Structure 1
Amino acid sequence: METELSIIAALLTTLSPQHFDDAETKKWLGETVPHLADRVLGEVVDPSRHTLLRRASQCFHRRKSFSYWYLIFTVLMLYYIIEHPCSPRYRHLLLPSSDLGLITPQLAEADALLPLVGIDRPAKKILGWFAHQGKMDMNLRVLCIIGPVGIGKTTLAVELRNRLREHHETGGGRYNFQCNVMAQVPRGTDRNIRLVQDILSQVSEPAATALSSDPSQAKTMEVLVRLISECLRDKRYFVIIDDIWEASDWEEIKVAFPNNNHGSRILITTRSTSTAWACCSDSYDGLDVHEMKPLSEMDSERLLIAKAVGSVDGCLPNNMKLHCDEVLRRCEGIPLFIIGMADWLKDQRLQQLHQREDEDEEHQRFAIYCKERVPRLTEQALSSAFNDFPNDYLRLLLIYMSMFPYGYKFEKDRLIWKWIDEGFFILTGYNYGLYYFDIYFSHVIKLEAERLFSELVDSNVITCVASNCKHKQDEAEACQWQINHFMHQFLASKSAEMGFVFTTTTLNLLAESAAATTTECGNQTSSRMPRRLALYHPDPLFPSMLETMDLSQTRSLSVSGTVCRIPLNKFVNLVLLDLEGWENLKDEDLVQVCRSKMIFLRYLSVRNTRVSKLPHEIKELRILGTLDVSYTQITELPLEVFELIFLWHLDLRGTRISQLPKQIKGLRHVLRYLLVETAARVPNDVRHLYKLETLATVDLTEYPASFLRALGDLHNLEVLAVTWSFHQSTDRDYCEALLSSIKNWENLESLTIHCGLGCSMEFLGSLEKSRAPRWLKKFKVTAGRFASVPPWALP
């Protein structure tokens, strides 16, 4: 492998730029480099391999040909592939642990003893669904309860079952079910077989016993569902199926439940919104989904006290009341988290009976507990939830969330850009090297990233927290997202255990084990070098700690808050550098970063810092893909920025930049996202950025109609936001120019027009529906006047 790399480096040094346009050379490169990537993947990587890759790539900096850079990117991708978290070297770390796949007896016992706080109203509501309202309401109905782990779905289902039994014993009439079954979906590849076996044993114990005692009888899914169906054929039955994860599981077992017109009911609990709606899609009387809500502040406090003291009407000591507000804030109304923290309060109460403790020490111990520990009960449930994710990529992307500080609110698009620039999608069904370069900026990868983000939202581990966020707000809307405190703690612990991310809290664990640089994991050897670091709390030990670590293999670094004295020049192999919100970042630090020649750096963010100038040396960041300087003091961009021929995303919002130079057309082959404030004037040369997919927000009031017409040349635009004045709405040339451009934006998915007060936008109605963008999903006009919505904007 070393010989092949050396040969490639030597050959590239002697070739001229014209050779890279030669068909024979391209064919050779297309065959050799991917083959070399396979070889690298099969090797056990050590630091010398990284040194070799860097040495081989140094000679690439002398050339300027686009084809030459095409090859540079390919060779640099070898480094990404070596360290890819889903490569064979790391895949075993993402597999579920065998001892965490099932709900433990402790969890089941705790759930049974859970005080019934805040559950009466939803129980009464769902009981109304169960009751049949006469002959017209006798069809089989499927009802779903959805919500995140620990919110009380199973508790509610058990309470409903108990109430139905009480009605049955007292001659409940409408609530009288001849068969009452509850089964939890097991984990594992044969989960559906085991599930229907459990249901059969409750529906008809003799049938289950006869089946198990007859060795000649095949225990197939077809046989089991047929037996269940036969037993339920003439009965009014009620079945609870607890914790279904995938809709495909329901599709396989639903044939076991006949629609016998006896008013039967099926209740399903799930964490997945899409699974809930899929399960209810066959309900004969419509869609019935109940979404669990967090407990109110009053109910949360009652549950906390009931679990900590033993009675809902109990009372905590005065000094412990100080902790309640903080506990309830972190638990966010999730019963499981409240119960876990209540255990701690109970221990403190017992300790106070034996000893007095200084109040400051007590507060300090409480702060440490909240920041560094996840209660045992909570950790078991979150481990199960984590292992339930259907593939490695979802677990990987979820663990990546530990890079954020607690309470951090993030935007969907910014997270997706990080995923892409980290190289998380290199191995998602595509080949490496040249093939990856061909699709790197394609719509396919972004769609894949958005799909996985939607799955995380769908599973209720990511929730919308924007103040203006409405119930079930569309992900495309501008809003922020967040992860629950205890889930964040669990992910930080899990990622440190894997060696995937070390945060401020878990970095000390790495320092303690620095002497043991490797640990055995099965047949694999996992390096304990800090691959990803997220530093967001100051610690006087950081500088000395980092000095003793080998940071040459760190691929991602995030720094924020008041952290100080970070040796940025030691992180030479970074792929992602996120300095958003770092209060101590100075202009000189950026110069240091650029002069360090971080040849693998794809993502650089100095968002929301005091930086006032980008250095000319930024051209040394050869393959930089994302540059985010939003909400800084920067007043202009150095022309060297437009020499970065892999720059696909540029965010200039909230800066003092008043004019973009015409040299921006140097990015015409790569720039996909250009985000500016309306105060920043965009040159006419922006029409040459033919790869541009997002342009926001351009103030059209300062441009002639010819500029607006020229924007129609941006045929790849998917998202556009502009401002529009009252004068323009009355000027025929401007109106015709806008209509002409809309006709040319065939791929447009989102169009936002911020109008001046009183602008009449009636002219947009003259556009023929056949000429309008066929993929348009969002059309937004602020402050403009319409007598009716333009027909072409309707579905």
Structure 2
Amino acid sequence: MHSLAIEIRVLKARALKVSERRLRYRVEAAFGGASDAYAAGRSSPDHNLLERQLPTLNIDEFRLVGVTEKTESVIRLLEDGNLTSLKVVPIVGFGGLGKTTLAVTVYKSPTMKGIQTRSFLTVSQHYDLCILLESLLRQLIGVSLRDSSCSKEENFKDPLKGIETWHISEIIGRCRAHLEDKRYFIVLDDLWSPEDWANLKVAFPDNDKQSRILITTRNRYVAESCCSDPHDLIYNMEPLPFEESKKLFYKKVFKLDQCPVLYHDLEVISDSILKKCSGLPLAIVSIGGMLARTKNKTRAEWEKVCDRLGSGLETSATIGGMRRILSLGYHDLPYNLKACFLYLSVFPEDYEIKRGPLVRRWAAEGFITGMHETNLEEIAAKCLDEFVTRSIVTPTRIASTGLVRSCKVHDIMLEVITSKSIQENFISFVGKQQYSTIGHDKIRRLSIQADGSGSIKEQEKHNTNFSHARSLLILRCSEKPLHISFAHLKLLRVLDLEGCWWLSNEDLKEICKMSVLRYLCLRRTNVSQLPKLVGRLKELVTLDVRETSIRELPETATQLGSLKHLFGGRYRHYTRVSRVKLFEPHEALTIPRGLKNMKSIQKIAHVDIASSSRTMQELGALSQLTKICAMNSEYGGEKWKPFAASLNMLWKSLRHLSIIHWRNRDTGLEIFLELKSPPIFLEQLYLWGRLSVLPPWILSLNYLIELSLRENFFDGDLLRQLGRLPSLVSLKLYHESFMGIQLCFEQNLFPRLKELIVDNAPNLDELRFDGGARNLERLTLAFEREPAKGIVGIESLPRLKEVEFFGAIIFYSLVEGMMAEAKIHPNKPRVYREN
């Protein structure tokens, strides 16, 4: 009886443990976790366990839209026949791109030959490690038993008997023992953190049997943390091209590869719907499924779906799965990032969000906290980087250093963010057709977005109380919306009026009474003068008056003791190609005396040193200054002397320096040949103007990352000098910066250079790579005459990815020669041209 009692207690404890595990795992079951596999294999091995473990997906819906090509690419990365050690290949990309579908397809592919055992584990955001490892072992043992006949014998002993009571270390040990002498293939689907990988990888031995692990994740940082060996490679999941998106859409709606003739009038609106989906398979299938079930497939019905797609996210169960998946990104965010996430909804669809203004607004809104409020923008910038890593935003412009300059929010993700914002009364909208949110008692943040004509719907122009608003963003409005009275907006912290041409100087008088205002953007407005009242804005941190008619600041502006960012000047800015952005200076900002009182100032761009020469004497007193962009349109170097003297006092703080002297035949910049105390911590330097020689102090800039030169007329051994800069990543040699006949990258020079731009070196006969710049990835070239000896030595650039030719004149023989060399280059760089 005593032994029976003990056995009963053991059974009760075992049952309780199983119950607790299942209870903890109930949430994960909703996300495709391992609980089904656990239940299926609980009492005996299941021969179909692998199939049960795979996520429930209609793979056939996706297979026709490029999955075959992607599958082949991933398999090529996995196979690597010469590598016997364990290899890890993460698939990384935005939620809904089809990462799991691709992983399932690869997992089932007959091309993966020689695999002796395999397992597909869905990890998910929340999981019970013990249950997940139990599932792994059940799959592995299940494969072995399925492939043998021992399980059919009468005296068969279940090797997993009692697994519910095993300690986690025992489960791991058994997994390793089972895999030790086999070539295995493991898929870990939906990893959310590096800790997930650290917890799981201990179960997988590196057994020198050509074993492989395939991982899917939304987070690039997670993907990189899984790649500890140089042979581990990341596969970047890309959205579907438009034509493949159409195939998938029509397959879902009509079970055909194209729109039937009977419904030809739906093709245009189909394109509009697909534009919202932006190549996201999950979105396309979800919306397509909703339309497939509509009884009346008419243009009017489809236009309604297109217009009300946001409401569909809220109300339609058809796309509930898509919304749940995209919403996971929000729920996984740390608390301090959720406000930044919701704030992204203030921007309309397809809006290019610039890094600088975004992080400054986040800081002004109070979303970012730091020690004594120092470096809030740096903390905010890290938040944006986190969103990029998590695939919440898509980078649209990336610097050579890897810094994301601008980004967009995927349209479907924007719908999810907007829905969350409305639900939590975080942001209110006016003019966003699919949302009606101006009925809240208290509006905290308001985004006013005009329609395509620049106007606001008439019915939304009246009876709205904005007096409690803390933030106001007005976009694309050609007329003053909602009869707004700035006099009533006393609590505003953030006011962004970029592009609002209806704004008047009289409006500025009311705006300057907003005593708690921290961020004010008047860029591209029709204002011409800041009132003296601007000095009242004691909390103002950012003032942006670029591309306005404001040419000088009033004396009271020097009373802005909290101001950190001052941007002004009007200049013509244009893009030649994606990585070559130039501007023609036109007018810069005159700053009054008293600048030394603005102790908090960190960034100034663009200041006219000719009309602010006395003020430039005070520049050296700004100990927090990290960026200064200075222009001079007058002849001679006399006006630069006070500025140069102040630079000697900013040697410790300055990180970004732009000096623009645009009288290109004038030697006005000679004053900068000698600086007693140069800014040795500079990271970015832009020199525009004639110099007889390269200033010697530049060669002491050990932290310099980016160097841009223009119209300097340098000659001789320029590269031999610059090549010893240890941190230089980007070198941009713009128009007439170099006048020699050869640019030669010699052995051991430019050890970190990744980007090189050569834009019209008029006397150049040869561009030669002779063992230097071995990390170069991108080469961008423009010539007004064809170099006699051409481009030599790209075979010595093992990491070269892109060669781009641009300009008014394209020498096709040069391009074709480069294409031929690219074909035999080990890295197969892309060669292309842009006119």
Q: Which TM-score applies when normalising by structure 1? A: 0.73
Instruction: Summarize the Cα distance change of 1:384–1:660 in structure 2 as closer, same or farther, 3 Å threshold.
Output: same
SS in 1 for 2:472: strand
Whole-Å Cα distance in 2 between the matches of residues 652 and 768 of structure 1? 27
Separation (CA, whole Å) in 2 of partners of 1:557 and 1:459: 28
* Aligned counterpart, 1:557: 472
Tell me how far 1:485 sits from its aligned partner: 1.0
Return the alpha-carbon distance in structure 1 between the equivalents of residues 538 and 213 of structure 2: 59
Match of 1:309 in 2: 254
The percentage of aligned residue pairs carrying the same residue is 24
The aligned residue for residue 121 of structure 1 is 69
Deviation at 1:734, TM superposition (A): 2.4
Residues 589, 606 of structure 2: 8 Å contact kept = no
| Residue number in structure 2 paired with 1:392 | 335
Verify: 1:213 aligned to 2:158, yes or no: no
3-state DSSP class of the match of 1:240? strand
- Cross-structure match for 1:793: 725
Structure-2 residue corresponding to 1:706: 641
Deviates more, 1:497-506 or 1:315-324: 497-506
Confirm whether residue 632 of structure 1 aligns to residue 548 of structure 2: yes
* Alignment pair present for 1:183 and 2:121: yes
- Aligned to 2:458, the other structure's residue is in SS state coil
Query: Partner of 2:189 in structure 1?
Result: 242
Distance 1:158 1:236, change over 3 A: same
Distance 1:544 1:132, change over 3 A: closer
Aligned to 1:195: 132
Give the C-alpha shift of residue 567 in structure 1.
2.8
2:200 maps to 253
**1:591 paired to 2:509:** yes
Asked if 2 retains the 8 angstrom alpha-carbon contact of 1:658 and 1:680, the reply is no
Aligned residues of 1:101 and 1:388 also touching (Cα < 8 A): no
CA change 1:255–1:490 in 2 (3 A) is same
Cα displacement string for residues 738-793 of structure 1 (whole angstroms, at most 9, x for unaligned residues):
x5453xx133222222345xx565x34x4486xx2443332232454424352552
Of Structure 1 and Structure 2, the greater strand share is in 2
Aligned with residue 670 of structure 1, among 600, 604, 609: 600
CA offset at residue 310 of structure 1? 1.0
SS at match of 2:720: coil
CA distance change for structure 1 residues 731 and 664 in 2, over 3 Å: closer, same or farther?
closer
Counterparts of 1:235 and 1:484, CA distance in 2 = 43
Question: Which of 300, 314, 320 is the matching residue for 1:376?
Answer: 320
Paired residues of 1:672 and 1:694 also in contact (CA < 8 A): yes
Counterpart-to-counterpart distance in 1, 2:30 and 2:685: 46
1:425 aligned to 2:374? no
**For the structure 1 residues 229 and 728, does the alpha-carbon distance in structure 2 shift closer, same or farther, using more than 3 Å as the test?**
farther
Change (3 A) 1:730 1:651: closer
Q: 1:454 corresponds to which residue?
A: 385
Q: CA RMSD in A?
A: 3.3
Map 1:618-697 onto structure 2 (within 5 A).
618-654=534-570, 658=588, 660-676=590-606, 681-683=611-613, 684-685=616-617, 686-697=619-630
> Which whole-Å CA distance do the structure 2 matches of 1:253 and 1:274 have between them?
17
Match of 1:326 in 2: 272
User: Structure 1 residues 329 and 511, CA, compared in 2 at 3 Å: closer, same or farther?
Assistant: closer
Displacement of 1:214 after TM fit?
Answer: 5.8
**Alpha-carbon distance in structure 2 between the residues aligned to 1:574 and 1:278:** 42
Contact 1:659 1:680 in 2 (8 A): no
Corresponding residue of 1:750:
684
SS in 2 for 1:373: helix
**d(CA) in 2 for partners of 1:748 and 1:311?**
59
- Write the distance in 1 (CA, Å) between the matches of 2:489 and 2:74: 57
Aligned residue in 2 for 1:265: 212
Match of 2:422 among 473, 492, 496: 496
User: Higher relative contact order at CA 8 Å, sep ≥6: structure 1 or structure 2?
Assistant: 1
Instruction: Give 1:94's aligned residue.
Output: none
Find the aligned partners of 1:580 and 1:644 in 2 and give their Cα distance. Answer: 21
Q: Distance in 1 between matches of 2:346 and 2:500?
A: 15
Q: Pick closer, same or farther for the CA change 1:217–1:367 going to 2, 3 Å.
A: closer
Q: 1:118 to 1:664 in 2, by over 3 A?
A: farther
Helix, strand or coil at the partner of 1:408 = coil
Q: Distance in 1 between matches of 2:611 and 2:655?
A: 21
Which residue number in structure 1 is paired with residue 660 of structure 2? 723
Residue 777 of structure 1 pairs with residue 705 of structure 2: yes
Aligned residue type for 1:395:
K
Closer/same/farther in 2, CA of residues 699 and 312 from structure 1, 3 Å limit: same
**C-alpha distance in structure 1 between counterparts of 2:326 and 2:279, whole Å:** 16
What is the aligned residue count? 630
1:532 aligns with 2:445: yes
User: CA shift at 1:571, angstroms?
Assistant: 2.0
**1:37-56 superposed Cα distances (whole Å, 9 cap, x missing partner):** xxxxxxxxxxxxxxxxxxxx
1:613 paired to 2:529: yes
Gaps of 5+ in 1: 1-96, 169-174, 431-438, 518-528
Tell me if structure 1 keeps the 8 A contact 2:528–2:551.
yes
Structure 2 residue corresponding to 1:300, chosen from 241, 245, 248: 245
Task: Tell whether 2:24 aligns with 1:102.
Answer: no
Counterpart Cα distance in 1 of 2:668 and 2:529 = 40
Contact 1:728-1:735 within 8 A present in 2 as well: no
Report the CA distance shift for 1:364/1:664 in structure 2 as closer, same or farther (over 3 A): farther
Q: Letter of the aligned partner of 1:461 in structure 2?
A: I
Quote the offset at 1:110 in angstroms: 4.7
Judge conservation of contact 2:183–2:209 (CA < 8 Å) in 1.
Answer: yes
Give yes or no for contact 1:101–1:387 (8 Å, CA) kept in 2.
no
